[in-house]
A and B are shown apart, each in its own frame.
Chain A
Amino acid sequence: AQSVTQPDIHITVSEGASLELRCNYSYGATPYLFWYVQSPGQGLQLLLKYFSGDTLVQGIKGFEAEFKRSQSSFNLRKPSVHWSDAAEYFCAVGISAQGAQKLVFGQGTRLTINP
């Protein structure tokens, strides 16, 4: 069965420090991969996506992610975090079925920023 694992439930980093959020997926075919961010009480905003091609993808707000097929991973990175990055981050894999996709999400990683 398709699944997404985000091993870190909660991460705390200092403002200005680098960040890496881990994501591992299980899916038999070529995956469509996504990272979304959710601020408290808000909906999900798309940060970036991978469909094919270059395995290093750039997103909004200075985020990037690297697809590694051999490790079934799609880790999210940012070189220097800002206090406004504090939020919940979700990795998802798109499952193609019946002409469209449904998303399978990880449990999320809550990011706290220390001043």
Chain B
Amino acid sequence: NAGVMQNPRHLVRRRGQEARLRCSPMKGHSHVYWYRQLPEEGLKFMVYLQKENIIDESGMPKERFSAEFPKEGPSILRIQQVVRGDSAAYFCASSPPTIETQYFGPGTRLLVL
């Protein structure tokens, strides 16, 4: 059973460009979570999604950030008009609906120049 997949692993963008981060949950998992880890800090919750629904986006910045988890395909975290402060590691985690444990992907390290 493959683990949580994230791609790309590293992403470099210039200020003002868009960043798209993808997450494929583990097989059988219907819950997806996105976390952000700023340099030298712990992970901070951003958003929790189920298929075709955003359940909790209380940790998402109000502007430029959006997330989706379509019926088919991976979950996408989209950052529009990136700024240097968006440079961070973005981790996706997944869990099945009846188990509380989240399993993390390897992360996408975003660098904004």
Contact = CB atoms under 8 A, between A and B. Distances in A.
A32 interface: yes
Given A98-B48, A100-B56, 17 more contacts: A34-B101, A41-B109, A42-B107, A43-B105, A43-B107, A44-B43, A46-B101, A90-B43, A98-B56, A100-B48, A100-B95, A101-B100, A102-B48, A103-B43, A103-B45, A106-B42, A107-B41
B100 A51 contact: yes
A98 B107 CA distance: 25
Nearest to A104: B45
Which secondary structure dominates where chain A touches chain B? strand
Contacts of A92: 43
Interface string B13-52: 0000000000000000001010100000111110010000
B102 interface: yes
B102 A101 contact: yes
A43 B43 contact: no
A103 B56 CA distance: 12
Given A102-B45, A103-B43, A103-B45, A43 B33 contact: no
A46 B102 CA distance: 8
What is the predominant secondary structure among interface residues of chain B facing chain A? strand
Interface string A71-115: 000000000000000000010101001111111111110000000
Interface in B89-113: 91, 93, 95, 97, 100-107, 109
Interface string A4-37: 1000000000000000000000000000101010
